[in-house]
Amino acid sequence: MTTVAQPTDVQPEKLTEASKPSRAKVLLPVLVAVALATGGAVWANGRGKQATDDAQVEGHVVNIAPRVSGQVKKVLVKDNQIVKAGDVLVELDDRDYQVRLAAARADLAASKAALHAARTQAAVTEKSVDSTLVVARGGISQAAALDGTTRATIDQALADLKVAESRRDLARIELDRSSKLLADHAIPQADYDTRKALFDQADATVAQARARLASSQASLANSSGTIESARGRLLSAQTGPEQIDAAHAQVELAEARVDQAQAALDQANLNVSYTQLKADADGVVARRSVEQGQLVSPDRPLMAIVPMDDTWIVANFKEDQLAEMKPGQAAKVTIDTYGGRTFVGHVDSLAAGTGSRFSLLPPDNASGNFTKVVQRVPVLVRLDAPSDVPLRPGMSATVVVLTK
């Protein structure tokens, strides 16, 4: 007969422990749930936002450099001093420039005197040209009249010479007849002498007529020379417009020299004013490197002025954060200096390229040894309201842009 084994009695305590679920099975779902909730909260909180801690405060830096070379006479500011626009920062020795200014003033006075003389000469030329032309034309008329008178005198002398020669010829005939009659003792000696005297008188009259003719011809030659001389004076007088143009050209040249001297004087005044270096804007003195007695030149800045009222934030976002970023979106800025205080602003603009593209040595990915690196693009963020605390360029910041 087969004997059936009877089950062994189990202790109640052991059954209770076996029936309880393990602690791991209880904690694991709880931890998973907490992790999912945390991840969901982080995802929900980060959705529509792009953040970066690669950001800093930026601002203008106004370099102060001399416009002229010289020796520093006074330095009127010190490092980190607050200055206003127009305040004198540095004074240079201006004695050399004062001497040049005096010379420029003298040159201007001389140029103005030369201009006055040129204008006076032009006015005299205009008046003398008119009077000379009138006199020359009158000389032509007078010479022409004298020529006509002389030719009439010549004609009269020729006529008188012909009459005298005719009378002489008649007197010669009478004298020859008287000579024959005297030889025949037909007339007395007295009649012959009378005929002889008449002949001599007629011969003298012919000589006088010839002399007058020669004199008239000489006068005609003289009048011809007078006409040529008058024509020459008229031609000279007719060059009056050219003489006036030349006088006006001298006036214009004198005016140009006055303008040149005035420009030199203005430059000399500017150089004197440049011996005082003034602040171009309100701000704080920074990077001062000038001392009294130093020789300075325009190629080297002496200090910088940093305006504290015009600052902005430049945030360098990764390139994969820019897909939905655009100007005008709201932004939150946290400045490390002020214990994480948050400022409200907006995206002003995005840079045209990555920071590496505008570096001193841009990367050349065509070399063959290419390693992809996530690039960063500068984004300019401006605050919506002026800050009540000073924001100094270079301060670190964290920027969060609300893209949705």
10-residue mean pLDDT series, the chain (404 residues): 45 48 68 75 68 93 94 95 95 95 96 94 78 65 64 74 79 78 76 78 80 71 60 61 83 94 96 95 93 94 92 94 93 90 93 83 69 88 90 93 90
Give the CA angle between residues 61, 62, 64 to the nearest 5°: 135
- Residue-level pLDDT at 90: 96
- Residue-level pLDDT at 368: 65
- Residue-level pLDDT at 37: 73
283-286 sheet: strands from edge to edge:
62-64, 303-306, 283-286, 82-83
Burial 222-241 (b: 16+ CB within 10 A, else e): ebeebbeebeebbeebeebe
Whole-angstrom distance, CA of residue 70 vs CA of residue 295: 6
Q: List domains and CATH numbers for the chain.
A: 63-94+273-303 (2.40.50.100), 98-263 (1.10.287)
* 346 within 8 A of 278, measured Cβ to Cβ: no
Whole-angstrom distance, CA of residue 160 vs CA of residue 292: 110
Q: What is the pLDDT of residues 152-176, one digit of tens each?
A: 777 777 777 788 778 777 778 877 7
Q: What are phi and psi of 114, to 5 degrees?
A: -65, -35
- Residue-level pLDDT at 31: 78
- Residue-level pLDDT at 180: 79
- Residue-level pLDDT at 386: 87
Whole-angstrom distance, CA of residue 289 vs CA of residue 393: 20
Please report, for residues 30, 127, 129, 139, the alpha-carbon distance to residue 245 in angstroms, rounded to integers and kept in the order given: 109, 13, 12, 25
Q: Across-strand partners of 304? A: 63, 286
Please report, for residues 16, 165, 222, the alpha-carbon distance to residue 210 in angstroms, rounded to integers and kept in the order given: 186, 10, 18
Residue that the structure tokens 């005939």 belong to: 173
Q: What is the pLDDT of residues 283-307, one digit of tens each?
A: 999 999 999 999 999 999 999 999 9
